[in-house]
């Protein structure tokens, strides 16, 4: 346990970096106990920590993803039936792009290739909501128990959501040009280890350029919440005394467009100010899964009825996960 605590606190949580930045700021005359100094400390620590973890995780995940190009993923999914197919689709979603807007083109390709609609939606729900990057970041900030339960519940939401959509027989709610799409049948060239490393490096740089502005915004908001927003305000709106806190956080998260790396600092700051654990996790899930830009993109591929069912299933699932985490919070020691 001591070894694992070291990994979680010093490697993933980078507690040493937090101390180093605090000492550095103190040496140049910055009072880290003041609101301005505390905000600067929070901002520098979280930006550096998330940037390092982000680049490392994207590189590793992209290297792994090089073994699962779209055509191979389609063939893997085509071998399974029933809930097994939903589970495999949800698991494949964990090694694909980090935001919902990047997942939708793959979703369209799977639909065009003739995969069952429920399976493709399990992938679409899982891809932004649960990924390997979020698992590692959550472990470093919220602890191992929270991270593991978050991933498991996210996979359950993806599986059940896809299965419900399959049972509703909404295939006719997919736009015609998507259903008539022709899948590429030829496998891509066989990649060497050097090719995979180059691919992972390119994906890391490309993704980093896209998400870094959201990291800055998310950490900036988190720094403001952490040092300027009164704790009583957060506890009143998102604390245990408000039974509708989870619902409110989910609704607030929908218009926001960010990824898991930009929302975690906000969630961390809210939790530190007295918000309930499930409430901040519901906010994170809503931001990553139901952002307005992704819903607008998805509307190009599906008709309003199917889009509404998708939003309703995800919203209910996110809210249930939030209330479950709130109930488990004392057991989780947070």
Confidence of residue 259 (pLDDT cuts 50, 70, 90): low
Asked if residues 314 and 160 have their Cβ atoms less than 8 Å apart, the reply is no
- What is the mean predicted confidence (pLDDT) over 226-236? 80
- Does pTM top 0.75 for this prediction? yes
- Do the domain assignments include residue 251? yes
Q: How many domains does the chain have?
A: 1
Q: Centre a 10 Å sphere on the Cβ of residue 35 and count the other Cβ atoms it contains.
A: 13
- Do the domain assignments include residue 151? yes
Q: What is the pLDDT of residues 123-151, one digit of tens each?
A: 888 887 887 766 777 887 788 888 889 98
Confidence of residue 184 (pLDDT cuts 50, 70, 90): very low
- Do the domain assignments include residue 312? yes
- Do the domain assignments include residue 89? yes
Higher per-residue confidence, 301 vs 179: 301
| Residues spanned by the domain of 204 | 2-181+195-332
**Is the per-residue pLDDT at 183 higher than 50?**
no
Asked if residues 275 and 235 have their Cβ atoms less than 8 Å apart, the reply is yes
CA-atom Rg of the chain in angstroms: 20
- Do the domain assignments include residue 188? no
Name the token pair of 291. Answer: 């952002």
- Do the domain assignments include residue 144? yes
- Confidence (pLDDT) at 291: 74
Confidence of residue 268 (pLDDT cuts 50, 70, 90): confident
- Do the domain assignments include residue 190? no
- What is the mean predicted confidence (pLDDT) over 25-35? 91
- Do the domain assignments include residue 233? yes
Q: What is the pLDDT of residues 49-74, one digit of tens each?
A: 888 887 887 788 778 777 776 667 77
What average pLDDT does the chain have? 82
- Confidence (pLDDT) at 210: 78
Beta bridge partners of 302: 174
- Confidence (pLDDT) at 102: 61
DSSP 160-213: HHHHHHHHTT-GGGB-HHHHT-----SPPPPPPHHHHHHHHHHHHHHHHHHHHH
Confidence of residue 156 (pLDDT cuts 50, 70, 90): very high
- Confidence (pLDDT) at 93: 79
């Amino acid at each position: 346990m001591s070894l694992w605590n070291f990994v979680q606190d010093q490697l993933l949580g980078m507690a040493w970096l937090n101390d180093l930045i605090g000492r550095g700021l103190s040496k140049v005359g910055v009072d880290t106990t003041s609101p301005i100094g505390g905000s600067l400390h929070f901002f520098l620590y979280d930006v550096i920590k998330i940037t390092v973890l982000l680049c490392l995780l994207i590189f590793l995940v992209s290297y792994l993803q090089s073994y699962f190009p779209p055509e191979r993923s389609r063939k893997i999914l085509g071998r399974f039936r029933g809930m097994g197919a939903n589970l495999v689709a949800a698991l494949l979603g964990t090694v694909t792009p980090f935001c919902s807007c990047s997942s939708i083109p793959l979703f369209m390709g799977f639909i065009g290739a003739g995969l069952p609609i429920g399976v493709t939606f399990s992938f679409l729900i899982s891809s932004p909501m649960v990924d390997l990057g979020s698992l590692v970041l959550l472990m470093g900030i919220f602890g191992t128990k929270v991270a593991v339960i978050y991933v498991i519940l996210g996979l359950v939401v993806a599986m059940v959501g896809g299965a419900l959509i399959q049972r509703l027989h909404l295939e006719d709610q997919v736009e015609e040009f998507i259903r008539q799409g022709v899948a590429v049948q030829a496998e891509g060239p066989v990649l060497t280890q050097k090719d995979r490393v180059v691919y992972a490096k390119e994906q890391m740089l490309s993704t980093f350029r896209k998400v870094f502005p959201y990291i800055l915004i998310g950490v900036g908001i988190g720094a403001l919440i952490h040092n300027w927003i009164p704790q009583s305000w957060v506890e009143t709106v998102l604390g245990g005394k408000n039974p509708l806190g989870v619902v409110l956080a989910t609704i607030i998260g929908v218009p926001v467009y960010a990824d898991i790396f930009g929302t975690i600092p906000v969630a961390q700051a809210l939790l530190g100010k007295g918000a309930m654990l499930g409430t901040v996790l519901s906010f994170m899930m809503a931001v990553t899964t139901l952002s307005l830009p992704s819903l607008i993109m998805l509307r190009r591929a599906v008709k309003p009825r199917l889009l509404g069912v998708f939003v309703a299933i995800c919203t209910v699932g996110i809210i249930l996960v939030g209330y479950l985490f709130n109930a488990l919070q004392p057991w989780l020691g947070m």
